[in-house]
Amino acid sequence: MLILQAMIQNRIICAEISHVSTPISVREKVALNKDRSQNALIELKKKLPEVYILSTCNRTAIYAYTNNNRPLKDFFSRFGYLNQYINLYDDTALSVKNLMKTAAGIESQAIGEHQILGQIKTSFDWSREMKTMGPYLNEMVQKAVHTGKRVRNETNIGRSNISIASIGYEVLRKQIDKLEDKT
């Protein structure tokens, strides 16, 4: 009976370090390329029924279907004491909402930037390749991608080609005369 109760209490949780509350020096430490992401997925899968990692230059988010957030916190602790930077979404609704907002571009440094959808899909492919996805996270990520596309098609959020680089260029262009002849 106790095992059954524990299984029923599983939920989708997320631990995330992002540009919202974390300096770039810390984000750089926890950023995961393909190999590091896949190794982390294998390691976390030993402790979690389902796990998905989204790592970009602005965030590293671990989503899991579990009743225990400790493996997620432990993973981040290998990079130092980061508890003050970890946003923990310990509830399915909050975790799903976080990924939906991320996919829509609302949680990006440059609101509406387009790269995040591709990054979510790539991370999804890596998780599926490593067989760490299950039915709950699989559905969540697929719906997030669908939501991100819909937001871009049905709202003005995706109308312009926005990125941090393009914003930086525009700021420089306005501040420096004759930017064209500068290197």
What φ, ψ does residue 46 adopt, rounded to 5°?
-65, -20
Q: Which residues contact 41 (CB under 8 A, 6 or more apart)?
A: 51, 53, 126, 127, 130, 132
Return d(Cα 80, Cα 4) in angstroms, integer.
Answer: 35
One of 57, 88, 94, 145 is an active-site residue; which one?
A: 57
Residue 14 is a catalytic residue: no
Q: Which two tokens stand for residue 12?
A: 């989708």
First to last CA, the chain: 68
Nearest CA-CA partner of 77 in 20, 9, 35, 29: 29
Return d(Cα 153, Cα 158) in angstroms, integer.
Answer: 7
* Residue at 22: amino acid letter: T
Active-site residue set: 57
